[in-house]
Every structure is written in C-alpha cells, then in structure tokens.
C-alpha cells in the first residue's frame, strides 16, 4: 500500500470524480458499490494527508468525493457505516459524557529529572527482573503535552474513545474523537487475530494551528487559549462534536495496551511481544505514531546510556518539533517483562518520563502588584508582558519577598528571563543586562496596600506583614479561607462570590455568612431561587461540619489539616478549652513545635477570636468534638502514631491515612522519637534508615499494618 500512496491518482478515483449524484443514486446496487469505493478512497487519502502532510488529491476533489458520499448515504441510510469518513463530522449536541471503565488502568508515569535518575531506574528494574535482566531493551519516545485517550476497537471498528479520567474510569468522548482525522475509524487488526484492542495515545494541537486559533480569538475580542494542552483537552469535552472539528485536533498513538482474540483470550504477550514492533505495527495500520519517518522520534536500544543520549538529542531540538513535548518516555520494550514488573498504585514500574529542563523565555516587567494575604503577609507579584513558555502563557509570577527583589535588582521596564521550575511554576531567573534597564526601581511599600497601616517585619521572617485587624484585604481572604473546600466546604460560596458579597457589604465578618438575607440574594443578578436555595442548604450543612474543619477555617497560622485534627482530638467538650493550653503543653503533641504552639496560644489569647467562636456557636455552628470523633479517638490505634514510606502495594497512601484516622491513630509527617510505627513499602529510603538508627520505632510491612486492624479491614 505504501507504493500505492506515492502513485498518481488511480483511474477508479478519476471515474468517481466524474460521477453525478443522479447516476449514483439511481439504483441501490450501484449506490452500494459507489459508497464502498468512496469510503475506501476517502479514508485512503485522509490517512495519507494526515500522516505525511501531503496528498496527490487536491482539496477540491476530496471535497467533491466527500459530498458525493454524504449525499448517497443520505438517500440510502443503510449504507452509512461507523467507519465512513462522513461520521467524522459529529451528530451535534450530546447531553453529557457517560463514565466508562478502562480495560486496564491508565496510570501516571514516574519522573526523572537527571541522567542519574534514569540510571537508577535501570538499576531498580534489572534488580526486579533478576535473571531476566539480560533480556532488557528499551524504547524512547516523546512525552506529548496533550490530553491522554484510550481507543477501543472491536471487529476492526472504533467503538469507544475515553479520556484518562482518574486512571480507572474516564469520560466517553467517542463522538468527539470521530472528528479527528488522524484516528482511523476502521483498522485491520483482525488480520493479526485481534478482535478487541485498547490503544492509547495523546490528543494534541499543532503549534502553528494553536497560534492561528488564538489569532482568530483575539480578532473576535475573545480571550486566547492558555496553552495547546488545555486547548486540546477542552475541545474533547465540547458537547457539540461538530465544533470539535474546528480545533483541528490531531492524535499520536503510542501504545497497544490490550489485545484479545475471538474467544476473549489476552494475546498481547503472545501476538505482540515487543512494544517497539507494536508501535511500528500501529503506524503501518494507519495511526500516526512517534515512529513516523518524518519525525525520527522513536528509538530502541539495549543500553540505558544510549537511551539517555537520545533524550539529550531531543532536548536540543524540542523547540523545532511541531508539537509541544515536555520530556521523553523510556519504556521497557518486552511486554512480558512489563507484566512481570507490574505497577504501583500510581505508575508502571517499567516506564519513566525523563523531563526536560525548565524552559526560558524573555519578556518585559511591566509593573509589580503587592497583594495582602490572609495572615497579613505582603506578596509582590510581577505583572509581565504575556509570553509563551513551555506550552503556557505567562503573564504573572510571584517575586516572593523584598529580599528577592533586592537580590535581582528589579526595575519596572526591565527585560527579564522567565523560567518554569519543573516546567510547572514560572519565576524570574535573572535580568537581561544586555538590554536597556528600566528607570524605576521596584521598592517594597512601607504601608499596607489595602488599609495603609504601617507594615511590620518579624525578625525571624522574610515577609513584611500588615498587623491591622480591620484590614479589608485580610478580612476578605479570611472569608474566602473559611468557606474553602478544605475548611468549612460551603459550596456556592467560591472566591468570586465571596469577593462580590464583600464588595456589596453583605459579608463583613465570618459570622455574616450565617446571617445572610436569602430573600435579598434573590434580587441580585445571576442569583435565581434555585441557586439561593442551594446556597442556603450548603451554609446550613456547614454548621454540622466536624470540629477540625472549623479549626482550619479559623485560620490559625501554620495549622493545617493534620494539626487541626490533633487539636480537635484534645477537646473534651468545647473548642475554647484550648485557651488553657500552654506552649509547653502543646509541644507534647506529635509534630507541634515551638513556633506552631506559640501561634495557637496567641490565637486563643485574643478576646476577639474567642468572641468569634462564641458567636458561631450561638449561630448553630458546631464547636464541639462529636461523639463519633470521640469513638474514633478511643479506637484500636488510639495513642499510637504512624508514618508511611516507600511505594505502597496493598493500598494507596490516601487509603492508608484514612485507615489510621478511622481507628484513632495519628499521622506524623517525619521520623522522630515521637513516632511509634513506620509502615514500609517498596523502595523505602532515608526514612527507613533514620527509623532504624533511632531504634525505638516499630517497623512494619503493609501486611503487618493490616494485621493491627479489626478483621473486617
């Protein structure tokens, strides 16, 4: 077929181009024959175009054949097959996306940031495989910065496409994926005995197409798309499949994840034993893969250093690639060995993503805003001329504190270099002194930007703070923090709504949340009766939240979830009891040091905070430790502290923490003499070594930990 791709337009196609609609639809038998020919050739030229970016068939001729097929199928609907090119258009609006379960989980990838990390991966893998280590070979391919998908083919037909979702379940986006020309609707897998297959890949947007889309949006005075990855993911979730096609999405396929024969037997290892060969097969079957000859992005080797060298080559030319990539993926080539290595709850042990270094971009520092946080800390934020960096548009970065500004010698108008740490967090790395300097130095304010109170800098801190209790910015941030998901979790009171209510004077204190006039809210724009009723119910439900959530919501400095739970467990009757606790007594609790203890004592020493708690109690908010919480405190693990380390196999880390808390145990964040049990998974590191040196800590396996729990666990 490759020879056929390079030949001139066949006579059969030329004949089709001369076919008139009236003749095509005169008889059903003629129409059926023509439909099959048109479907074949349209798929043929579509595949050729999207694999090589070239086709001998002009666009006008392609459009004519497409319209002819579409009209034939309209007259004879029974001729419209699932793999027909006309089915890429989409069927309009879908009401929602159904949830589906992946054939096998779509896990994340473990990450490496240096050559030493990759060598460590190779060493661990060979140790895991034992005598089979000599059989190891690797493949290397791009880590596309897009949206992962799973494609299910049955009897050669694409029957389902799904997002990655949570790794176990994803959203059914079949209608939208049908619009993507680089995903074949029919694939001849049956010639290899494969009746059912799940194929993995990434949906992406060409860099040039992304720039075109943004130019069109700007011309329409609409907000541009943030980055190609979000643009691709957002398009896949559009409810109108016909609009998905406008994004010009593309797909790169990188894995044959599962293969079954007609009897339902798993034949992946037997029929497709090498990942490298599988990707070449997928390329041959019509998918676009990293093995495409024009990309030279797919490599096989039995030497880990050679794999590292290939990554380094791509590190140098990533900017010249037509698509955003943020690293290269090194995979164990042998499928049977992959299965032997298995996976953790998070990632397969047989693959690792070698991430590229942070990218740099140059832009202009236009101004600096000084923002007031909930605790009064002043954070300088640089506002930059928007610049594309590693797949995102950066226009705002934190300057951290006064020392950072002074060390960088920042001036408004400076040309600065911006990097993304780990390709995630943007920051100013340096000023480009080869460019003209800005005239106005960035000077840290002496007074609060919100309330104009004089700022104060504690001796042991790098942050300047506003200490005014009536500072509007702090009050607003306190309100936002109190209703947040990790605190009182009041749905319907997000940041924007709280800010709006604060500006309107509806919320001035935390107590005002429980005094809102819901009838008045119904008079506000965008607040219908249903939304107001939902908000009322959410506020009412928050009154029954467990005590630790209220402690979080009160915003005591340096008191997070774990400390809040610990404090709640110490309460016998009511929260104000904590005003009797001294710094020394608080430090007897696990993981509470002198600084946190001092913050807690200071909070409960202030009359206005105690009055706030009294007011909330009077408004019906729970300020007591519940009986259920007390029962947990008396659980089988009560009085014992736990820490988990290494890669857990029997349960996720989140589930492990849940089990400890359900049975009254306490979780610690580090190894110390206060720790009773260290539960060790695979590849445990420094925590295990430190615990062994202390000598008084009980070291348990996962099974031994489970044995501590009641039988039903």
Residue 323 placed within a domain: yes
Domain final residue pick, 526, 542, 558: 542
- Give yes or no: residues 152 and 277 share one domain: yes
Distances 45 to 49, 53, 182, 286 between C-alpha atoms, Å: 6, 11, 11, 11
What pLDDT does residue 652 have?
A: 87
- Give the number of other CB atoms < 10 A from CB of residue 97: 19
Catalytically active residues are 143
Q: Which residues of 374-422 form beta strands (DSSP E)?
A: 378-389, 392-398, 411-412, 415-421
Nearest to 246 by CA among 254, 235, 256, 255: 235
Please give the tally of structural domains in the chain. Answer: 6
Residue 587 placed within a domain: yes
Pairing between β-strand 677-680 and β-strand 698-700 as defined by DSSP bridges: parallel
Tokens in use for 631? 């029962």
| CATH for 691 | 3.40.50.10190
Sheet of strand 147-154, all strands in order from the earlier edge strand to the far edge: 157-163, 147-154, 196-204, 250-260
State in Å, rounded, how far the first CA of the chain is from the last one. Answer: 58
| CATH for 370 | 2.40.50.140
3-class state of residue 612 by DSSP:
helix
Q: Are 642 and 666 in contact (CB under 8 A)?
A: yes
User: In this structure, is the dihedral angle defined by the CA atoms of residues 633, 634, 639 and 641, taken in order, positive or negative?
Assistant: negative
- Give yes or no: residues 487 and 564 share one domain: no
- Give yes or no: residues 257 and 320 share one domain: yes
- Give the number of other CB atoms < 10 A from CB of residue 65: 21
441-475 b/e (C-beta count within 10 Å ≥ 16 → b): ebebeeebebbebebeeeeeeebbbbebeebebbb
Q: Are 334 and 136 in contact (CB under 8 A)?
A: yes
- Give yes or no: residues 128 and 245 share one domain: yes
Range of the domain at 493: 472-542
Residue 80 placed within a domain: yes
Tokens in use for 400? 């951290």
Helix axis angle, 59-75 to 28-52, nearest 10°: 140
User: In this structure, is the dihedral angle defined by the CA atoms of residues 644, 649, 653 and 656, taken in order, positive or negative?
Assistant: negative
Nearest to 440 by CA among 472, 405, 469: 405
Nearest to 365 by CA among 393, 388, 394: 394
Burial of 557 (0-12, 13-18, 19+ CB in 10 A): middle
- Give yes or no: residues 607 and 558 share one domain: yes
- Give yes or no: residues 538 and 552 share one domain: no
Measured distance CA(2)–CA(229) in Å, rounded: 32
- Give yes or no: residues 507 and 622 share one domain: no
Measured distance CA(585)–CA(119) in Å, rounded: 48
Question: Which segments of the chain have a pLDDT < 50?
Answer: 1-7, 50-53, 89-95, 713
Tokens in use for 612? 């706030």
Measured distance CA(369)–CA(399) in Å, rounded: 10
Residue 102 placed within a domain: no
Domain final residue pick, 521, 542, 563: 542
What pLDDT does residue 53 have?
A: 41
Domain final residue pick, 542, 559, 590: 542
Residue 456 placed within a domain: no
Q: Are 236 and 163 in contact (CB under 8 A)?
A: yes
Residue 466 placed within a domain: no
What pLDDT does residue 358 have?
A: 62
- Give yes or no: residues 79 and 19 share one domain: yes
Residue 528 placed within a domain: yes
- Give yes or no: residues 285 and 156 share one domain: yes
Measured distance CA(571)–CA(560) in Å, rounded: 17
Measured distance CA(442)–CA(448) in Å, rounded: 16
Measured distance CA(616)–CA(620) in Å, rounded: 6
DSSP notation for 645-691: ESB-SSS-HHHHHHHHHHTT-EE-SS--TT--EEEE-BT--HHHHHH
- Give yes or no: residues 249 and 333 share one domain: yes
- Give yes or no: residues 413 and 501 share one domain: no
Nearest to 600 by CA among 569, 633, 567, 630: 567
> How big is the chain, counted in residues?
713
Residue 250 placed within a domain: yes
| CATH for 589 | 1.10.150.20
CA angle 150, 138, 187 (to 5 degrees): 35
- Give yes or no: residues 197 and 247 share one domain: yes
Nearest to 289 by CA among 151, 183, 148, 145: 183
Q: In the beta sheet, which residues pair with residue 393? A: 388
């Amino acid at each position: 077929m490759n020879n056929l791709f390079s030949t001139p337009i066949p006579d059969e196609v030329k004949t089709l181009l001369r076919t008139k609609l009236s003749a095509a639809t005169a008889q059903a038998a003629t129409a059926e024959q023509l439909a099959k020919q048109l479907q074949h050739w349209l798929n043929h030229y579509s595949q050729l175009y999207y694999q090589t970016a070239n086709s001998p068939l002009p666009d006008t001729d392609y459009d004519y054949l497409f319209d002819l097929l579409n009209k034939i199928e309209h007259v004879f609907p029974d001729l419209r097959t699932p793999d027909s090119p006309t089915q890429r258009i989409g069927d309009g609006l879908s009401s929602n996306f159904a949830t589906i379960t992946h054939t096998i989980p779509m896990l994340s990838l473990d990450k490496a940031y240096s050559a030493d990390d990759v060598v460590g991966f190779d060493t661990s893998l060979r140790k895991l495989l034992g005598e089979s280590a000599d059989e190891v070979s690797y493949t290397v391919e791009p880590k596309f910065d897009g949206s992962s998908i799973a494609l299910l083919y049955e009897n050669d037909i694409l029957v389902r496409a799904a997002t990655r979702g949570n790794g176990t379940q994803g959203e059914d986006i079949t209608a939208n994926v049908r619009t993507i020309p680089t995903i074949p609707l029919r694939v001849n897998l049956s010639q290899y005995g494969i009746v059912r297959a799940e194929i993995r890949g990434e949906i992406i947007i060409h860099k040039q197409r992304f720039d075109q889309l943004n130019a069109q949006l700007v011309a329409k005075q609409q907000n541009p798309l943030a980055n190609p990855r979000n643009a691709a993911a957002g398009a896949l979730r559009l409810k109108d499949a016909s609009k998905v096609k406008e994004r010009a999405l593309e797909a790169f396929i990188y894995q044959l994840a599962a293969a079954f024969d007609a009897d339902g037997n798993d034949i992946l290892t037997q029929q497709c034993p090498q990942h490298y060969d599988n990707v070449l097969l997928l390329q041959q079957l019509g998918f676009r893969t990293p093995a495409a000859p024009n990309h030279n992005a797919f490599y096989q080797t039995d030497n880990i250093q050679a794999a590292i060298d290939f990554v380094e080559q791509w590190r140098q030319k990533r900017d010249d690639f037509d698509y955003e990539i943020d690293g290269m993926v090194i995979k164990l080539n042998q499928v049977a060995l992959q299965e032997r290595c298995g996976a953790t709850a998070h990632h397969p042990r047989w693959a690792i993503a070698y991430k590229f270094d942070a990218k740099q971009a140059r832009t202009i520092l236009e101004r600096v805003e000084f923002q007031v946080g909930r605790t009064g800390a002043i954070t300088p934020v640089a506002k930059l001329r928007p610049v594309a960096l590693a797949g995102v548009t950066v226009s705002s970065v934190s300057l951290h504190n006064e020392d950072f500004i002074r060390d960088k010698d920042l001036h408004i108008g400076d040309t600065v270099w911006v990097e993304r740490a780990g390709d995630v967090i943007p920051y100013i790395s340096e000023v480009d002194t080869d460019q003209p300097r800005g005239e106005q130095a960035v000077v840290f304010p002496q007074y609060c930007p919100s309330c104009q109170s004089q700022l104060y800098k504690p001796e042991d801190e790098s942050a300047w703070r506003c200490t005014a209790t009536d500072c509007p910015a702090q009050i607003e941030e306190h309100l936002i923090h109190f209703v947040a998901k990790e605190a009182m979790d009041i749905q319907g009171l997000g940041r924007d709504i709280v800010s709006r209510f604060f500006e309107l004077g509806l919320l001035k204190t935390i107590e005002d949340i429980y005094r809102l006039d819901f009838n008045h809210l119904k008079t506000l724009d965008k607040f219908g009766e249903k939304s107001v009723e939902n908000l009322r119910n959410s506020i009412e439900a928050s009154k029954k939240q467990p005590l630790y959530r209220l402690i979080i919501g009160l915003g005591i400095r340096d008191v997070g979830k774990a400390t809040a739970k610990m404090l709640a467990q110490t309460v016998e009757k009511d929260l104000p009891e904590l005003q009797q606790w001294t710094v020394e007594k608080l430090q007897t609790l696990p993981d509470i040091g002198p600084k946190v203890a001092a913050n807690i004592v200071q909070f409960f020493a202030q009359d206005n905070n105690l009055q706030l708690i009294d007011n909330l109690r009077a408004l019906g908010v729970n300020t007591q430790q519940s009986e259920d919480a007390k029962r947990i405190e008396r659980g089988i693990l009560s009085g014992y502290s736990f820490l988990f380390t290494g890669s857990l196999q029997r349960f996720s880390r989140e589930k492990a923490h849940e089990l400890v808390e359900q049975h009254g145990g306490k979780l610690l964040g580090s190894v110390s003499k206060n720790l009773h049990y260290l539960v060790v998974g695979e590849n445990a590191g420094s925590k295990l070594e430190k615990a062994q040196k202390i000598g008084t800590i009980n070291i348990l396996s996962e099974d031994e930990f489970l044995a501590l729990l009641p039988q039903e666990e």
